[in-house]
Structure 1
Amino acid sequence: MPSLKKSLFIFCTMLLQCCLVDYSFAQMPGSNHIAPTGTLADAGGHKLHLNIQGNGSPCVIFENGSGDFSFIWSLVQPAIAEITKTVSYDRAGYAWSEPGPTPRTSKQICFELHTALINAGIHPPYILVGQSFGGFLVRNFARYYPKEVAGMVLVEAIQEDQKIFMGSDKPMRIRDFAKGRVAPATQTFFTAPPDTSTATVTLNTEIDPLFNKFPDSIQKMQVWAQSQPHFIPTVQAEMDWSPEDVADMYTHTGQPDYMLGNMPLIVLTRGKGGFDGRADSLQLEKERLESQEALTHLSANSKHIIDMNSGHNIHVEDPAAVIAAIQEVFMAVTKHTALN
């Protein structure tokens, strides 16, 4: 989500540190006031919302940052849909998707996406595009389903040794919050509890000014989606488990199962880390860029692009850069060529 969660795919306060946009919305009854933009597909008992656009193969799958919804890609997805099939989606408990089982491990999240794609008739190969926390998830998807992923674009993706601000003035590594918990087996079937609430939904109208780049219809979707009763508990559940997955990835750095082979990979990184004014700004910036460069080592066919025109939310601030990166990976996959 545009700078609502700028300091991490928002492992911190998310919606609480943003600027207020006053829409003067009234309370809206029910959880389905705004119609879904796509279709609902079975993800193992519960349903995920998939926004499918375009035709062709390989299909490009968009994975959101923490706290973001499928429509965050609306400045990018239509352009890619002109050349191939695309899917943006809402993870379980987000927007129109039904809640899923806990804990929200990366393997559980990836299983649900994989199941929903197959049930919707969207078959591999896939090109995965992940922003922030979504970048971490698509790397795991490629690990769990390696034969199905043909290319990848990481947009300001979190790296397992990267330091970020997490609600304090001191940057910390996400893996330092791990408790050594072992992930349970994937739950392959889960029935979402019925929505028995009859209370009105009080809209949280605080959204980032970056949403001014979107039409009113998207801004209203954002307000509606972030106000749904399942949203905050779902994000909290993702944040609760994510340090365990990050620590696991760090522990297995460089191991073949955690690498991407010769897969076309583009890493998109913002130009400045936002450390200005700090005594240790130069060191923090050096470490940030090194951690992003480390992501390119996941594949022998990779490219690192530093975008000086945006911050953490490149897909919103400079969507043309993301579109160009996806197009380049798409061409490399379909032509079986190396990235330039």
Structure 2
Amino acid sequence: MPRLINIGERRLAVSNKGRGQPTVVLEMGLGAAGSVFNEIAERLAALTHVVWYDRAGLGYSDPAPTPRTIQDIARDLHALLLHASIPGPYVLVGHSMGGLTVRFYREHYPEEVAGMVLLDASHEEQRERLLAVLPPEQEDELSHLAHLRHILSTRWNDPNKNEEKFDHRANSALMRHCHSLDDLPLMVISRGHSDRDPAKFPPGVVEEIELTWLQMQRELARLSSKSQHMRAEKSGHMLNRDVPDLVVEAICQVVLQIRA
């Protein structure tokens, strides 16, 4: 059972285990409570101190005013680590949208961050780039393509249409002010295959989406001069579920690199 920490405006549920430095901090993807990282956190605790938590409105944490942005999340996380007396330096691990959050956190609290792991992380330009590879809209297009187009072109713009009421447009604008990671130890792990069934899309569309996604993942890896980029060939987007061994190994590598 996580403990509830009052950060001033709300209480956030946090779990932590293990000993040693640096402290690994796990940041989830959109709509996911901290419990999605339970297995990975338990294994990491054999090597170092690890922290995972529920963002506001998820799991056991109190709700927060909406819409929200990655700036709100980073501020909450900073306050949580302070009020819970969890010392740095931190290795920030961000899955999916959590990748934007940890990069934003490092931009604003650089002295606290010793390393970073991005797990099939979001890219600030992914909406525009993915829309660009979709074929021109047709009245009788396949339902899965129409649904994807609707998500990218319409739902993405409305914070009320996602689980945590995030303002994705504001998030992308905030990320434009984030710079490189310099020589920060960085591990980027990308999915090896799509979770979409190519048979339900026009020929070549899913393949183009995956090539575009891979290019964005390579760009994330180039944010640091001390980065490694791995593709999880047996995994879709949910790396923590599909390849937990690889995720644990990658995080441990960054921890040991910092200690060395």
Q: Smaller-chain TM-score range? A: 0.7 to 0.9
Give the match's secondary structure for 2:225.
coil
Match of residue 302 from structure 1: 227
- Partner amino acid, structure 2, of 1:237: K
Q: 1:170 aligns with which of 109, 131, 149?
A: 149
- The alpha-carbon deviation at position 331 of structure 1 amounts to 1.0
- The alpha-carbon deviation at position 109 of structure 1 amounts to 1.2
Normalising by structure 2, report the TM-score.
0.84
Q: 1:145 aligns with which of 96, 103, 109?
A: 109
State how 1:72-111 maps to structure 2 within 5 Å: 72-111=36-75
State yes or no: 1:276 paired with 2:255: no
Identity score, percent? 32
Give the match's secondary structure for 2:163.
helix
Give the match's secondary structure for 2:214.
helix
Deviates more, 1:293-302 or 1:164-173: 164-173
- The alpha-carbon deviation at position 123 of structure 1 amounts to 1.6
- Partner amino acid, structure 1, of 2:95: Q
Residue by residue over 1:221-245, the C-alpha shift from the partner in whole angstroms, topping out at 9 and shown as x without a partner, is: xxxxxxxxxxx9983422xx12221
- The alpha-carbon deviation at position 53 of structure 1 amounts to 0.9
Cα distance in 1 for partners of 2:214, 2:171 equals 22
Q: 1:246 aligns with which of 166, 172, 176?
A: 172
Cα distance in 1 for partners of 2:171, 2:73 equals 12
- Partner amino acid, structure 2, of 1:68: A
Q: 2:213 aligns with which of 288, 291, 296?
A: 288
Q: 1:317 aligns with which of 242, 245, 254?
A: 242
State how 1:1-340 maps to structure 2 within 5 Å: 37-162=1-126, 163=130, 168-170=147-149, 177=156, 235-238=163-166, 241-249=167-175, 251-252=176-177, 257-273=178-194, 274=196, 276-277=198-199, 278-281=202-205, 282-335=207-260
* Matched-pair contact (CA < 8 Å) for 2:26–2:51: yes
- The alpha-carbon deviation at position 158 of structure 1 amounts to 0.8
Give the match's secondary structure for 1:258.
coil
* Matched-pair contact (CA < 8 Å) for 1:94–1:234: no
Cα distance in 2 for partners of 1:115, 1:138 equals 14
The change in CA–CA distance for 1:328 and 1:236 in structure 2 (over 3 A counts) is closer
* Matched-pair contact (CA < 8 Å) for 2:193–2:234: no
* Matched-pair contact (CA < 8 Å) for 1:127–1:152: yes
The change in CA–CA distance for 1:73 and 1:110 in structure 2 (over 3 A counts) is same
- Partner amino acid, structure 2, of 1:304: H
- Partner amino acid, structure 2, of 1:235: E
* Matched-pair contact (CA < 8 Å) for 1:309–1:317: yes
The change in CA–CA distance for 1:143 and 1:99 in structure 2 (over 3 A counts) is same
Q: Which stretches in structure 2 are left out of the alignment for 5+ residues?
A: 132-143
Q: Which stretches in structure 1 are left out of the alignment for 5+ residues?
A: 1-36, 180-231, 336-340
Give the match's secondary structure for 2:67.
coil
* Matched-pair contact (CA < 8 Å) for 2:31–2:164: no
* Matched-pair contact (CA < 8 Å) for 1:127–1:151: yes
Deviates more, 1:274-283 or 1:121-130: 274-283
Residue by residue over 1:75-126, the C-alpha shift from the partner in whole angstroms, topping out at 9 and shown as x without a partner, is: 2111111111111100011111011233312111111111011111102110
* Matched-pair contact (CA < 8 Å) for 2:55–2:73: yes
The change in CA–CA distance for 1:171 and 1:284 in structure 2 (over 3 A counts) is farther
The structure with higher relative contact order (CA 8 Å, sep 6+) is 1
Moved over 6 A (4+): 164-167
- The alpha-carbon deviation at position 146 of structure 1 amounts to 1.1
- The alpha-carbon deviation at position 151 of structure 1 amounts to 0.6
